[in-house]
Amino acid sequence: MGWDLIVILIVPFAVSVICWWVPTRIARALTLASGVLTFVLAVLLVPAKTTTALSGWLRVDALSVVFLVAVALVYGATAVFAIGYVHPAGDPGSAARYNRRFFAGLNLFAWAMAMAPVVNGLALLWVAIEVTTVVSALLVAIDDTDRATEAAWKYVLIASMGLGIGLLATIIMYYAGSTVFGNAYELFYPKVLSGAARFPPEVVRLSFVLAVLGFGTKMGLVPVHTWLPDAHSEAPTPISALLSGSLLAVSFYAILRFYQVTARAIGPAFPRGVLLAFGVASLALAALYLASQRDLKRLLAYSSVEHMGVLAIGMSFSAPIAIVGVLLHVLAHAAAKSSAFFGAGSITRKFGTKDMSRIRGGIGALPWSGPMLVLAVLGLSAMPPFGIFRSEFLIVSGGLQDPRDAVAAVLVVGVTLAMLGLSWFTSRTMLTPSVEDSSRGEPSAWIVASMVIGLAALAILGVHPPGQLSDLLTRAAGELGAQR
């Protein structure tokens, strides 16, 4: 029992180490195998109740599995995409060194993100997210351009400051627990939750606010989001997909763990109010910025800020259906955003630029990935029949059942404005005639395959989520205090 958790943590790490020493073709194959295996093992955990390993140091419940599946889905799809995308220029020796660093870093990044929902405890969770910062910052700068280096440096400064605040939140929560358990105890989730009702209320409030501010930095919540557009834009496209589809979700998971404790200690009203404030600010600012972007990847980055705002607002509603919608939104956003970044990577590879004013006729030039990018953008815009339509419908339905139902109207308006900005610039890029003749064809069949994976998952989540997955989401919502 629990062997699958151990395998999930061992395999990506082992593949990362091996990729330093093997030829590129073997590194690609191992990365693909690791991504597929991780996803399969994560899916196998969906029907399980609670699984532990290593004397309780590893543990997954329904909430953990939701985020583990999101990470594993993006990891597997990105492994497919990277095979067709990563072809660095330069002499063979430089290309081989780049590939070693890239594939080793990609697998190590995925390992750290998978570790976050698998480890048992607030302290171990903070360590896992700190590891993601170090590894992902190096990957943002891997292309060794001035803009990439600047984006990585900005990311390190802001994220480190945020995680410092997150560490302080963890320490303060440990102090709150020490008033019940004594000075020596483990911050394991069952232990903390069992005594949360007796924690000092003011101490818990302070810890939660610091946790939202600290981990919200990595999640991309306004006003601590400023690293995100630069890092997502300048990182290699596979890393952009992992950052947006997985890392932001993992940071949200950390906030939800603090939410669990806070709701049990002082009730859900206070944490919902805090998340509402950050969520409305994030949604409003992102909607405005989406209307003024010219860089395709920055456009998708601000879309991520928008969707993180949607998640925060959804958690502020009291209806259980809204919490189920939030958790479904985590999965749907992972599928949609990774597919959109894969499409952006195909566009960049084809046209040699991210500047949308210089890109025309994307569908004509890219017969497969072009239309699929449009579908991914429609998915991000909450168009039916995709998963984000279903998740946002559930969130808004829950919001209309909440006493503060006016917030649901604000959510609808913000999402609509964001949709207009996102779809306007994408349609100008993809649907307009090409200004010059360009060869028709795809950069790689692997890129097409990766987008098919993401869009298929997005459609399944929208049309008819599997019964076991729906049960998982309901159980995870119950663990967050949303009881039917």
Tell me: the pLDDT tens digits for 438-449?
Answer: 577 888 899 999
Tell me: the pLDDT tens digits for 80-131?
Answer: 999 988 876 666 778 888 889 999 999 999 999 999 999 999 999 999 999 9
User: Is the pLDDT confidence value at 282 over 90?
Assistant: yes
Q: Residue 53 forms beta bridges with which residues?
A: 58
Tell me: the pLDDT tens digits for 330-356?
Answer: 999 999 999 999 999 999 888 888 888
Residue 353 pLDDT: 83
pLDDT band at 483 (very low <50, low <70, confident <90, very high): very low
Rounded average pLDDT over 398-421: 89
Q: Residue 295 forms beta bridges with which residues?
A: 355
Round the average pLDDT of the chain to a whole number and report it: 91
**What span, in angstroms and rounded, lies between the C-alpha atoms of 424 and 310?**
21
Give SS3 for 51: strand
Rounded average pLDDT over 18-43: 95
67-71, 327-331, 431-435, 468-472: range with lowest mean pLDDT = 431-435
Rounded average pLDDT over 363-371: 87
**What span, in angstroms and rounded, lies between the C-alpha atoms of 415 and 311?**
12
Residue 89 pLDDT: 61
Provide the greatest CA pair distance for the chain: 73
Is-contact 9 41, C-beta < 8 A?
A: no
Buried b (16+ CB within 10 A) or exposed e, 212-240: bbbbbbbbbbbebbebbbbbbbbbbbbbb
- Report domain extents, the chain: 1-118, 120-267, 269-484
Tell me: the pLDDT tens digits for 141-169?
Answer: 998 888 999 999 999 999 999 999 999 99
Tell me: the pLDDT tens digits for 207-251?
Answer: 999 999 999 999 999 998 999 999 988 999 999 999 999 999 999
Give SS3 for 187: coil
pLDDT band at 425 (very low <50, low <70, confident <90, very high): confident
Tell me: the pLDDT tens digits for 180-199?
Answer: 998 888 889 999 999 999 99
Tokens encoding 239 = 């890393």
User: Is the pLDDT confidence value at 71 over 80?
Assistant: yes
**What span, in angstroms and rounded, lies between the C-alpha atoms of 245 and 388?**
13
Tokens encoding 61 = 């419940």
Is-contact 192 124, C-beta < 8 A?
A: no
Residue 88 pLDDT: 66
The residue with greater pLDDT, 48 or 391, is 391
DSSP code for 119: B
**What span, in angstroms and rounded, lies between the C-alpha atoms of 421 and 289?**
8
User: Is the pLDDT confidence value at 484 over 50?
Assistant: no
